[in-house]
Amino acid sequence: MNVVLLGPPGAGKGTQGDLLSERCGVPKYATGDILREAVRRGTRLGREAQRYMEQGELVPDEVVLGLVREALASGEAQDGFILDGFPRTVAQAEGLEALLEARGTALDAVVFFSVPEDELVQRLSSRRVCGDCGAVYSVGSDGRRDVGSRCPACGAKLELRDDDRPETVRVRLRVYREKTEALLGWYGRHEEMLRELDAVGTVEEVQKKLLNLLDCT
């Protein structure tokens, strides 16, 4: 199973990607997570990426393509992979296609997470991440986890992501519309590749729909 999870910020790609990865035993690679880890560690990549991330803009295509090339070469991905938050531009999608072709493989499905904008804004303002283990929660209720100020998994403090502040969220939604939404048309050219997921509902409801779309039982 080679799958891309595509959709606007806050649509639930990370949450569903983790569940899918666990359920199907294939690794999930989220370029946002890899970049945040580099920022946290203060590496050269992290310092370069941070300038873009804190503005809500996209990190240059060559940089993220390099990260994905590295992840797919790691060996774990030989029986399948889930990409979350990548590709985000047509250039990245072209780069991915070339990369997979060189490895003698291709994508099986691109799942588009469809969520109305007011729900996205609500989800992003409620998102809290653990400063230590990176687990993601919601302060309101996502129908499943309703958390306080400490990470239920490791006890560290939960934080609002810097780029989840309302001013940056507005920029990220605009960037999504300007640069990422075009991928719907791009992947839509390949019959049966693009599958639309109505990603509104509880986490469990959405998971069920996702497993159905991918014919996973």
Binding site for ligand ADP (CB under 6 A): 7, 9-15, 31-32, 35, 52-53, 56-59, 64, 85-86, 88, 92, 123, 126-127, 136-138, 142-143, 163, 172, 201-203, 206
Nearer to ligand ADP, 24 or 200 (CB): 200
Q: How far is the CB of 24 from ligand ADP (least distance, A)?
A: 17
Nearer to ligand ADP, 62 or 79 (CB): 62
Whether 24 and 132 have beta carbons less than 8 Å apart is answered as no
Nearer to ligand ADP, 79 or 98 (CB): 98
Closest residue to bound ligand ADP by CB: 32
User: ∠ CA(56), CA(60), CA(63), 5° rounding?
Assistant: 120
Nearer to ligand ADP, 79 or 178 (CB): 178
Q: How far is the CB of 53 from ligand ADP (least distance, A)?
A: 4
Which residues are designated catalytic?
Answer: 13, 88, 127, 161, 172
Q: How far is the CB of 187 from ligand ADP (least distance, A)?
A: 15
